[in-house]
Amino acid sequence: MSTTLAAVVRAPGEPVHTAEVALPDVGPGQVRVRMAAAGVCHSDLSLASGRLAHPMPAVLGHEGAGQVVALGEGVTDLAVGDTVLLNWNPPCRACWYCANGEPYLCARAADASGRVWGTLADGTGVHPCLGVAAFAQETVVPAGACVPVPGDIPPVEAALLGCAVLTGVGAVRNAARVQPGQSVAVIGLGGVGLAAVQGARIAGAATIVAVDPVEEKEELARSLGATHFLTPGDDLARRIRAIADGRGVDHAVECVGRAATIRAAWSCTRRGGTATVVGIGAATDTLTLNALEVPHFARTLRGCMYGSSDPAADVPDLLKLYRDGQLLLSPLVSRTIGLEDVGGALADLHSGRGARSLVVF
């Protein structure tokens, strides 16, 4: 048994606070990781606010990297001292989805979220955000949630791969399968959206329209590959179609998770094109399509979980792109913060300020 400092939310909508949490010793098949860095993601905000249902109290954070400091019984493919990326959606490799090439839809990936991860000073059990609890000096996770990272990759940058980059680049490469010369619109320029812009550039898209209400993001979006920048409005779909020869873009990638922006992504896509929804919204926010437009436009509206990625296969590819200078990680970080600043970073996310805040331990 040991203690660690962690960012805790006791109930949906309550303020995030740092607290000492007692962690049990690693059990069979588990790994203890000393965190190096963790990104602050919209999913953390959704969980803290109650928009995303999750057992409470919870230690936030699911996008991170660190160093293995202890191994549980039966863990043979990792060693103490290894740098690892934490995977919040670890596939079991045995269920129907895993066996049929869709590990990102694994039926058992969320099992670790419901466990009691540690104990507060008053004896209350706490749960790990999406099974990871990355906003803690140390965390205990299933061994399957650890993806080894070569020693030449800075863990502070590798942390971003755990959610934002795997999701954004994966949405473009694995789900939408953007081809050279095609046109792409990316709606929402948080960490995931900015990664999607890079994914479109890496895929060879000729036109990349980046959309965000914060005009200050234009320079960053263009530096990562955007050819155009727009702010939202009632005529957003029309303006995007005008850029794409009046037809609409071949692909739209929605990274917000709202019915209005999903509708805009659908409407700005050409006939026969594809709108890929990455953002996770509220169950009460209903999208409406009429019965004529679906067959008439012959578009595809598809969801995308975790970039349709398998980190074991995709992380090495992303690291090669990083080494080759094609995938830029440091520009995605708008500021580095301490664990005590997580609440402020969530407020920034709520207001749309910045790209990715990164907790550095």
| Distance of alpha carbon 87 from the chain centroid | 10
Instruction: Establish if 318 belongs to a structural domain.
Output: no
Q: In which band, very low, low, confident or very high, does the pLDDT at 171 lie, cut at 50, 70 and 90?
A: very high
Read off the pLDDT of each residue in 114-125 and give the average, rounded to a whole number.
Answer: 91
Together in a domain, 124 and 15:
yes
**Which pLDDT does position 350 carry in this prediction?**
77
The enclosing domain of 263 has a CATH number of 3.40.50.720
CA dist list (Å): 346 to 11, 14, 352: 15, 12, 10
Together in a domain, 170 and 152:
no
Q: What is the pLDDT of residues 247-285, one digit of tens each?
A: 999 999 999 999 999 999 999 999 999 999 999 988 899
Instruction: Establish if 200 belongs to a structural domain.
Output: yes
Together in a domain, 266 and 304:
yes
Together in a domain, 97 and 199:
no
Instruction: Establish if 262 belongs to a structural domain.
Output: yes
pLDDT higher than threshold 80 for residue 56: yes
Together in a domain, 113 and 220:
no
pLDDT higher than threshold 80 for residue 355: no
Q: What is the pLDDT of residues 76-114, one digit of tens each?
A: 999 999 999 999 999 999 999 999 999 999 999 888 777
Together in a domain, 237 and 342:
no
Token match 């012959």: residue? 298
Together in a domain, 341 and 200:
no
Higher pLDDT, 151 or 113: 151
**Which pLDDT does position 147 carry in this prediction?**
94
Quick one: which H or E segment has residue 98? helix 96-99
Q: Which domain range does residue 271 map to?
A: 165-308
Together in a domain, 128 and 224:
no
Together in a domain, 172 and 281:
yes
Where would I find the beta strands (DSSP E) of the chain?
Answer: 2-9, 17-23, 30-40, 58-59, 63-71, 83-86, 118-119, 125-128, 138-142, 146-148, 183-187, 207-211, 228-230, 249-254, 269-277, 300-303, 333-337, 356-360
CB neighbourhood size of 349 (10 A): 21
Q: What is the pLDDT of residues 26-35, one digit of tens each?
A: 999 999 999 9
Where would I find the beta strands (DSSP E) of 255-295?
Answer: 269-277
Instruction: Establish if 321 belongs to a structural domain.
Output: no
Instruction: Establish if 319 belongs to a structural domain.
Output: no
The enclosing domain of 144 has a CATH number of 3.90.180.10
Where would I find the beta strands (DSSP E) of 212-291?
Answer: 228-230, 249-254, 269-277
Instruction: Establish if 324 belongs to a structural domain.
Output: no
Which residues is 119 bridged to in the sheet?
22, 125
Together in a domain, 60 and 82:
yes
**Which stretch of 269-278, 319-328, 336-345 has the lowest confidence by average pLDDT?**
336-345
Looking at the structure of the chain, the number of domains it has is 2
Read off the pLDDT of each residue in 329-348 and give the average, rounded to a whole number.
Answer: 90
**Which pLDDT does position 225 carry in this prediction?**
97
Q: Quick check: helix, strand or coil at residue 175?
A: helix
Instruction: Establish if 323 belongs to a structural domain.
Output: no
Together in a domain, 169 and 136:
no
Together in a domain, 173 and 237:
yes
